[in-house]
Amino acid sequence: MPAPTPEPEQGTDPEASSSLGRVVLDVAAVNRALTRIAHEVLERNRGAQDVVLLGIPTRGVPLAHRVAARIAEVEDVVVPVGALDVTMYRDDLRMRPARALLPTDIPPGGIDGRTVVLVDDVLYSGRTIRAALDAMNDVGRPAAVQLAVLVDRGHRELPIRADFVGKNLPTSTHEKVAVRLSELDDEAEGVTIR
């Protein structure tokens, strides 16, 4: 009888399986993706002047803070970070169970005349981003809006495209993509699909 094949060590194979599904981004891959996004934001905007990052709760907020930290490492500039709750702007409120409102936190100085980079974990149908654009109308008028997502899984229902993508992940509509972050989750950090 042949010896069993040893399991790969955690963090060595980004396509490994876990009890949560197939791992498509491990901790190191998430970190590399966020570093790349930070550099792309700087390149697109010729630096960080007048850039504001707004994370979409829940996982977009810690992702926005991580991108801001990487920008600070590169440019030695503090980029304002806030949170933009889109719950009351969603078009599926009547089809989903009630959800608690999360805080909207606009950084001092607001967003008027600034470049706002919306940050979210997964881009799917585009409806969350449409809701975010509507919510932003109530807090200010930015000069430009850009979108950064950790994962773009396709299947758009609205004409929305991310400017900065950590990983394009072709999926079936039946598959579930889960993002786990150390700030919010007890499970191992990363992105899984099942």
Task: Residue 171: give its domain's CATH number.
Answer: 3.40.50.2020
Q: Which helix (H) or strand (E) holds 142?
A: none
Note whether residue 6 is domain-resident: no
106-163 pLDDT per residue, tens: 999 999 999 999 999 999 999 999 999 999 999 999 999 999 999 999 999 999 999 9
Residue 16 lies in a domain: no
- CA 47 from chain center: how many Å? 21
Residue 50 is predicted with a pLDDT of: 96
> Which residues, 6 or more positions from 137, have their beta carbon under 8 angstroms from its beta carbon?
none
- Which residue segment(s) compose the domain that 141 sits in? 25-93+101-193
Q: Is the pLDDT of residue 92 over 90?
A: no
Give 100's pLDDT tier (boundaries 50, 70, 90).
confident
Q: For the chain, how many structural domains are there in total?
A: 1
| pLDDT confidence of residue 11 | 44
Query: Is the predicted pLDDT of residue 177 greater than 60, yes or no?
Result: yes
Does 8 fall in a domain? no
Confidence of residue 1 (pLDDT cuts 50, 70, 90): very low
